[in-house]
Amino acid sequence: MSNSRNERVQQGVEDGWVCVGALGASHGVRGELRLRSFTDDEETVFQFSDLRKRPNGAAIKIKKVRKHKDDFIVRVDGIENREDAQTLKSTKLYVPREVLDDVIDEDEFYLADLIGLNAIDEAGNWLGFVRAVENFGSEDLIEVVLDEPVKGLGRFAFIPFRKVFIPTIDLKADRLVVNWADWLKTQVIATAEEQEKSGKK
């Protein structure tokens, strides 16, 4: 199995499942948990009738208690105390892909679809493959595992999911195009600024 295909399987994409949320730490003593929604409209995660603990896994039912900062506080059927709730921490929630296909246009896609795509530059040169889509608080980042390490960056590149840096996505061809040269310039500028700040201290 190729690295890119393996990443898709691990993320539940290859087998027709899409991750729509993840349970976090327990909250209080009555079995409530935090939930992070991955859907565009955060509330949509509560509308799925066929929610699973993992791709093709056991069914799970959640009920919103209230919004809590960037997450939700939820109750899970069958969970009545803190100890049981803690066993569900970090559990990812999935729905069958066909459920989502009914609500998007033909030319739209999910961020999960990007996982495993081959990454090339605008000249068609091979860069690596997409390992994950991350968000550390500001914007979505495409994590690309590079075939060849880049000095100062190593083998992992986190590229902002913006048109200027990711101009083309071709799901049928199993690839996306990265404006590699322009993105590298931003890294050089960032490094120079950091060195300048360090020198002033």
Residues 24 and 76 in one domain: yes
Taking the complete model, does pTM exceed 0.75, yes or no? no
65 belongs to a structural domain: yes
**Residue 7 lies inside a defined structural domain of this protein:** no
Decide if 77 is inside a domain: yes
Domains of the chain: total: 2
| Same domain for 95 and 123 | no
Q: What is the CATH number of the domain that holds 148?
A: 2.30.30
Three-state DSSP at 31 gives coil
What's the CATH number where 54 sits?
2.40.30.60
pLDDT at site 39: 79
Same domain, 89 and 135: no
Cβ atoms of residues 141 and 134 within 8 Å: yes
In a domain? residue 160: yes
Burial 56-81 (b: 16+ CB within 10 A, else e): eeeebebeebeeeeebbbbbbeebee
Determine, yes or no, domain membership for 170: yes
pLDDT at res. 190: 55
Domain end (from 47, 66, 101): 101
Give the residue, 192 or 176, on which the prediction is more confident. 176
Q: Which residue has the higher pLDDT, 18 or 53?
A: 53
Give the distance from CA 130 to its chain's centroid. 11
Classify residue 37: in a domain, yes or no: yes
Rounded Cα distance between 28 and 19, Å, is 26
The CB density around residue 110, as the number of other CB atoms within 10 Å, is 19
Question: Which among 12, 31, 195, 179 has a CA at the least distance from the CA of 96?
Answer: 12
Strand 175-178, strand 118-121: pairing: parallel
44, exposed or middle or buried, with CB in 10 Å at 0-12, 13-18, 19+?
middle
22, part of any domain: yes
The answer to whether position 110 is within a domain reads no
Whole-Å CA distances, 84 to 33, 141, 143: 10, 34, 34
pLDDT of res. 198: 58
Element (H, E) at 181: helix 180-200
Q: Look at residues 115, 114, 122, 102 and name the one whose alpha carbon lies nearest to residue 165.
A: 122
Average pLDDT, the chain: 83
> Beta strand 92-96 with 17-27: parallel, antiparallel or unpaired?
antiparallel
Query: Looking at the predicted structure, is the pLDDT value of residue 3 above 60?
Result: no
Instruction: Print the domain residue range for 70.
Output: 15-101
Query: Region 65-84: what's the mean pLDDT?
Result: 94
Domain end residue (candidates: 71, 101, 131)? 101
Model pLDDT, residue 113: 78
